[in-house]
A and B are shown apart, each in its own frame.
Chain A
Amino acid sequence: MATPYIGASIKRKEDYRFLTGAGNYTDDVALPRQTHAHFVRSPHAHAKIKSIRKDKALKAPGVVAIFTGDDLAGAKVNGLPCGWLITDVNGQPMKEPPHPCLAQGKARYVGDHVAIVIAESYQQARDAAELVKVEYEELPAVVRAGDARKEGAPAVHDIAPDNTCYVWGLGDKAAVDKAFAGAAHVTTLEFLNNRLIPNAIEPRAANASYSRADDSYTLYVASQNPHVERLLMTAFVLGLPEHKVRVVAPDVGGGFGSKIYLYAEDVVCTWASKQINRPVKWTADRSESFVSDAHGRDHVTKAELALDREGRFLAMRVTTTANMGAYLSTFASCIPTILYATLLAGQYTTPVIYAEVTAVFTNTAPVDAYRGAGRPEATYVVERLVETAAREMKMSPAEIRRRNFIKTFPYQTPVALLYDTGNYEATLAEALRIADVAGFQGRKADAARRGKLRGLGYSCYIEACGIAPSNVAGALGARAGLFEAGEVRVHPTGKVTVFTGSHSHGQGHETTFGQVVADRLGIPMEDIEIVHGDTGKILFGMGTYGSRSIAVGGTAIVKAADKIVAKGKKIAAHLMEAAEADIEFKDGAFVVRGTDKKKAFAEVSLAAYVPHNYPLDKLEPGLNENAFYDPANFTFPAGSHICEIEVDPDTGTVSIVNFTAVDDFGKIINPMIVEGQVHGGLTQGIGQALTEGCHYDKESGQLVTGSYLDYCMPRADDVPAFKVGTKETPCTHNPLGVKGCGEAGAIGAPAAVMNALTDALGVRDIEMPATPQRIWRACQESKMKKAA
């Protein structure tokens, strides 16, 4: 092979357009006869809508149309579906209240959609929206997960009077209770996993148009999965023929989960475009993003770990209440269950585990997957417990982990997953080395001389990625398949266009997938174009989330490329008058084994399209192949993160002086891109631990953290330069040996930071986000304790 593509840090193909302002994001799309939409949103967390008067607004300059929930109901537009059915501990289906695209009778959270105002300009739509008179009757609201099931809490939905969506369990409860009864030591922690707002820097946007000429729709939308968006919208909500709707997700400015879902705005703009027979464009301003994007996390948990005298884990028991918000977003129900409780074994041989999860409705924005989705919450439970247990039992945090690591694979956990491969000792050892843990005590003493508190914290996470085997997901309640599709189209000149159902919104698929195909077909990357994000071009796709793109989408492309090679061999055998079995494909050429006879890739491609000398009786002309790949198992990226922090006890400020992440992502295609994914994930994880927290006022249900002035996004000086390393144990069940890397940082980091912080402060727990105020208070409290 002339150029080794796999494993090379090739500079990204997509960068030139982004660096020169030539990216094409949804809000950049301007269509002929464009109109602009603004949504009237509920200012109340919970209110009856007694009347909506739009007469004055309709007369405002530039207004084209105004629609409300009544209009949608009259047109038989359905509500938004939830894509995952959870069955509760009693075998009953979860409660699925209707999720109207525009409120019907009641608004259930601040920001709930009440009406759409469409005008010639955005400003006119916004002005007119202020003239829409909505008469509300305010109702009491409940916002916290822990309050939702309390006696007297207001019911968010009539069908769930106790606000319970489901109570779900996983594991052998009796065996767990028995193990706890006989344990030498039990570590118990109770904590919140703070609610977060994803905050992709590109706000959500949609631009929908309708053509009377052929009764078709085109929707440009900031989405991570345009085919899923189309499927849900056509089949479940609007009842449109799927083939008459084209969904394009052009350049998308970050997703982190928040752009997976089918949102009301997308549906309403699409529907309205036919009503007014003009394109309708909506772009969220940041304030709208804060109130209406699906949020993440928001768990209240009690977690217990039972150990024997030697620090071996005997059992784990976890009880979690998860906030769903006011409605079930597209994948909300599976996040605190299927993607959470199944990960509670972590990297350890804990023989029995029981988790019980109660999902509740509250008067807050819907909660769904946010980078990591369930797995950061699980890692937080496991790794905080393990580190706390080590402290209680006076063991080193590394030693207690080593003593409990899974060492033989495949390994069946007590919580449903079958880990195919891993080497947890190797990632930990490498992290210990890079972080110079051996020198920590010296650095701590030095910090103490300067009046500062140093702490060290570990987090050895695991995640289930490469989502997902469809049959397994289906048995667990998924209402969709989770395969991926790919197409390799070889042109007559041997140049190649690859179509993928994965979607890139920062991950660099145009580069990574190009490397994979270049490697597989032995042709230069410049000869390959990757196309994604358009249902009008791509056969099908399940999109990008759950660190699945390379493991599932990449494999689909590999399978299609392999079919190209297989057909190419047949053509080459004919051209060289050799037996097909004697043809091997090497370095981009078809070679008759043991001879110097060969045909270049482009020669075979040309023969396929100019089939003069071609086995037309046996073989179709052309060189174009599709593949659908459904993974045999999840992939299991894992790693060790070590955080070293320094606290100024006088101000409560924290400095992360060192953050080491050693990850095992299996085979790595582009190390530069993988490192970038890790850096970004770590920063979001550090954000969760130290700066970010979504806060609703307990009484009014108002979102207090509704702008960048109130919601503290990590900035450049909040995070350190990261030290990252990798260990490779290739995935055993996909041809590339890849596992996925997108979420690891956000999964591992919070526990590492909080373990370091509690170590520095000498406290058992401190609430996330550990702001300077909270840390300062903790310092004062421990000072007072010492004095007393």
Chain B
Amino acid sequence: MTVKVSLTVNGKPASAEIEERTLLVNFIRDTLRLTGTHVGCDTAQCGACTIHMNGRAVKSCNMLAMQAEGAELVTIEGIAKADGTLHPMQEAFRQHHGLQCGFCTPGMVMSAIDLVKNFPDPSEELIREQLDGNLCRCTGYHNIVKAIKAASQTMRS
């Protein structure tokens, strides 16, 4: 059975006829070909698929595409400025070497932006606690925590 899904992705309308069981992450990756959003697990644990839906971070592997009908989605491709200037969180990850292989990075950045939105001045301890939903195997989190702390300052100012 197929169903038509219409939503907004990175400010542009998107619409497609898809199988009902299509996960949101597969809709984003395979139908829309926005491959920056990644799949690292099948149990909603790793957070590589994190995007923003109606302003909140969600794991796009953990919901059906049709649950996002009418929603406003933002993916990793949609957060830098149109001229290519990085979002302060992306820039902080670059400055503080908060990424290595880059695979968890899109989900990390999308989670981190939401984290700072909810906690504008987070402590290191709070950042570590809040990153519970995102796995990174490369960095040991040390520089990710530093990057988020730094970004929280630039995003406030």
Residues in A lying within 8 Å of B, measured CB to CB: 11-12, 14-25, 27-28, 30, 123, 199-203, 251-254, 256, 283, 285-287, 505-508, 672-673, 675-676, 679-684, 707-709, 713-717, 719, 721-722, 745
Contact = CB atoms under 8 A, between A and B. Distances in A.
Given A19-B109, A20-B77, A506-B101, A716 B86 contact: no
Contacts of B117: none
A206 to B, nearest CB: 16
A676 B100 contact: yes
A775 B113 CA distance: 37
A716 B131 contact: yes
Contacts of A286: 40-43, 46
Contacts of A22: 36, 77
Interface string B51-88: 00000000000000000000000011100100010100
Contacts of B102: 14-15, 17-19, 23, 251, 253, 506
Contacts of A30: 30, 33
Contact of A715 (B48, B75, B124, B131): B131
A201 B137 contact: yes
B140 A200 contact: no
Interface string B22-52: 0000000110011111111111011010000
Contacts of A201: 38, 40, 46, 48, 101, 103-104, 135-138
Chain A contact surface mostly: loop
Given A21-B35, A199-B137, A673 B97 contact: yes
Q: Give the one of B41, B102, B131 with max A CB within 10 A.
A: B102
A722 B132 contact: no
Contacts of B135: 201, 708, 713, 715
B116 interface: no
B12 to A, nearest CB: 15
A707 to B, nearest CB: 5
B40 A202 contact: yes
A200 B86 CA distance: 26
A508 B98 CA distance: 12
B95 interface: yes
Contact of B99 (A15, A25, A716): A15
Contacts of B42: 285-287, 707
A552 B80 CA distance: 38
Given A21-B76, A201-B40, A708-B46, A679 B101 contact: no
A155 B84 CA distance: 60
Nearest to A199: B137
A713 B97 contact: no
B4 interface: no
Contacts of A20: 36, 76-77, 80, 84, 86, 90
Contacts of B75: 21
B35 A28 contact: yes
A252 B104 CA distance: 12
Contacts of B21: 123
B121 interface: no
Nearest to B45: A708
Contacts of B46: 201, 286, 708
5 contacts: A19-B109, A200-B137, A506-B100, A683-B141, A719-B140
Contacts of B86: 16, 19-20
B114 interface: no
B77 A680 contact: no
A265 to B, nearest CB: 17
B103 A716 contact: no
A667 B39 CA distance: 37
Contacts of A507: 100
Given A20-B76, A202-B103, A506-B138, 15 more contacts: A18-B105, A19-B76, A20-B36, A27-B35, A27-B39, A200-B101, A201-B101, A253-B102, A253-B104, A676-B143, A679-B140, A679-B143, A680-B138, A708-B135, A715-B141
